[in-house]
Homo-oligomer: A and B are copies of this chain.
Amino acid sequence: MNSIYFFELFGTLVFAISGMLAAIEEKMDFVGVIILGFVTALGGGTLRDLLMGNTPVGWMQDNNFLYLVLLAIPICFLARKYIAKLRRSFFLFDSLGIALFTILGTQKGLDANLSVLISILMGVVSATFGGVIRDVLANKVPLIFRKEIYATACFAGGVSFILLSKVIPWESLTMIICALIVLLIRYLSVKHKWGIYVRPIN
């Protein structure tokens, strides 16, 4: 489906930029910037494909994903100057990215006849694991473990997608609604500093 493919490419670009900006902040060299952009953008989908046995993994069979990572380089240079101002729009892009990848991953799981729970998990892995690899390579405790509701928003998006798919006949509409749900949860959790802790941080 064309709209899904477009969303996948767009999510790849957004994640590549987010990874590259992280590398620049860490004062990595040019190669580090590219690699971090690459793994952030494609790491989640790669793990999903490996777990599902879809090899060669997606981006190896379609150069467009690589081109988008390369396209992120000049965008990143420009963005660097406006990074402070861009932070808000980046939050939007990143949240949109995880929303799209969650839904795409969930759909791929269902297509492969995996159980509903595992399919949602494939969605969450697609959406979040690129960022986990990014943080591991930058030698940090992954953000996902400390940040406001992040994986939880993905999970909620995946569950919504499963439920709404049974009610709404138009896939695109379902996807948009689910993406909005993820965005809303992310927005509210950041605004109100929501978090689910086993015990308070002292």
- Residues of A that sit less than 8 Å from B by CB: 23-24, 26-33, 35-36, 46, 50-53, 55-57, 60-61, 63, 66, 77, 80, 112, 114-115, 117-118, 121, 132, 136-142, 144-147, 149-152, 195-199, 201
Contact = CB atoms under 8 A, between A and B. Distances in A.
A50 B50 contact: yes
Copy count, this protein chain:
3
A25 to B, nearest CB: 10
Q: Which of A144, A149, A150 has the most CB of B within 10 A?
A: A144
B26 A141 contact: yes
A60 B51 contact: yes
Contacts of A52: 55-56, 60
A56 B112 contact: yes
Nearest to A152: B31
A141 B146 contact: no
